[in-house]
Chains A and B, each alone.
Chain A
Amino acid sequence: MNEEFFVVLNTIASVIVIICTVLSFQLLVGISRELKGLKTMDVMWTNFIILTNLFILLGITRAVGSIGTIIFEGLQPVFEALLSVTLILFFVFAIQLSLSIEEITE
């Protein structure tokens, strides 16, 4: 398979991911607006919103990174570092959210 195929595939995937993340972010804003009606915001919802935001950030970083490296290869380490930091933060908040979900389920 030639290099152009992967460039096209990555670009199309990145564009779809960016569209999905932007729409997901709008939905997340809607969810947080719904939650504002409640006087006390649950810890679980706070963690859920933070985690989903991180997940969206992860998708955007990956998508922008894969398009950015096609244009300028020097950007690759920067995006990889950002991706690593976001993944580590994702791990922390995933554990926190799981624990708060377990508390509600019990």
Chain B
Amino acid sequence: MKNLSFFAGIPLIMLASINALGGINQIDMSGTIVRLISYLLGVCGAAYLAAGLWSRAEKGSESWKYLSVSMILFVFWNIIGTFSILLDVLSIRKSTSGIVISDEALNTYIIIVQILDPVIAVIVFLILLFGLRKIINAMRTKPWTVFSKDEDDQEEKSNE
């Protein structure tokens, strides 16, 4: 019960710390928190979906694996988005918050995030495209293979 009351108090602690911020106005900070929460929800949703699609691929068509990999990369994309928000806040609040981090290190992290963000976005959507193409090909040629393993493939594997 004590633990529950502690978790229930977390939003209040966050709000109190937001009010205590002097450098950033309150509207910006609440916008930042909404973005942060949405990215974290994106991480949870995409990870859960990736696991579901992967288990589907184990029992059915391999094309589901493409979508699963796309979702795993989407998780990384969301994590990078979260880091970029945190770095933005850190770079603004560095002087007032008392966090010891050198400018060079901060700039390096920002550059890494800025390079990784578009690169992962491109890979995510390329894999999604190939995955959807594989699924529609399977639906047109062998529709029974979308949800179950192809018997011919299974026989070939068992012969090997």
Provide the bound-state CA to CA distance between A31 and B67, in Å. Answer: 15
A46 within 8 A of B: no
Question: Do A77 and B136 touch (CB < 8 A)?
Answer: no
**Residues in A neighbouring B34, C-beta threshold 8 A:** 84
Question: Do B121 and A94 touch (CB < 8 A)?
Answer: no
A88 within 8 A of B: yes
**Residues in B neighbouring A94, C-beta threshold 8 A:** 45-46, 48-49
Q: How many residue pairs between the two chains, A and B, have CB atoms under 8 Å in the bound complex?
A: 105
CB contact between B49 and one of A14, A24, A87, A98 (< 8 Å): that residue:
A98
Interface residues on chain B, number (Cβ under 8 Å): 39
Least distance between A88 CB and chain B CB atoms (Å): 5
Provide the bound-state CA to CA distance between A95 and B49, in Å. Answer: 7
Question: Do A62 and B121 touch (CB < 8 A)?
Answer: yes
Q: Which of A54-97 contact B (CB under 8 A)?
A: 55, 59, 62-63, 66, 77, 80-81, 83-85, 87-88, 90-95, 97
Provide the bound-state CA to CA distance between A102 and B121, in Å. Answer: 28
Question: Do B38 and A88 touch (CB < 8 A)?
Answer: yes
CB contact between B139 and one of A24, A31, A52, A105 (< 8 Å): that residue:
A31
**Residues in A neighbouring B118, C-beta threshold 8 A:** 9-10, 12-14, 66
- Taking A1-B111, A34-B140 as known contacts, 4 extra A-B pairs with beta carbons closer than 8 A to each other, sorted by chain A number, are A55-B74, A81-B31, A98-B51, A101-B55
Question: Do B125 and A98 touch (CB < 8 A)?
Answer: no
Question: Do B35 and A80 touch (CB < 8 A)?
Answer: yes
A41 within 8 A of B: no
Least distance between A21 CB and chain B CB atoms (Å): 6
Q: List 16 A-B contacts (CB under 8 A).
A: A9-B115, A14-B118, A20-B128, A23-B129, A27-B132, A27-B136, A34-B136, A80-B35, A87-B39, A90-B46, A94-B46, A94-B49, A98-B49, A98-B51, A104-B147, A105-B59
> B-side interface residues toward A, CB under 8 Å?
31, 34-35, 38-39, 41-42, 44-46, 48-49, 51-53, 55-56, 59, 74, 78, 111, 114-115, 118-119, 121-122, 124-126, 128-129, 132-133, 135-136, 139-140, 147
Least distance between A41 CB and chain B CB atoms (Å): 13
Question: Do A17 and B140 touch (CB < 8 A)?
Answer: no
Least distance between A89 CB and chain B CB atoms (Å): 10
Question: Do B125 and A21 touch (CB < 8 A)?
Answer: yes
Least distance between B55 CB and chain A CB atoms (Å): 6
Given A14-B118, A24-B132, A101-B56, residue A91 in contact with residue B139 (CB < 8 A): no
Chain A 17-55 per-residue mask, 1 if CB under 8 angstroms from chain B, else 0: 100110110011011001000000000000000011001
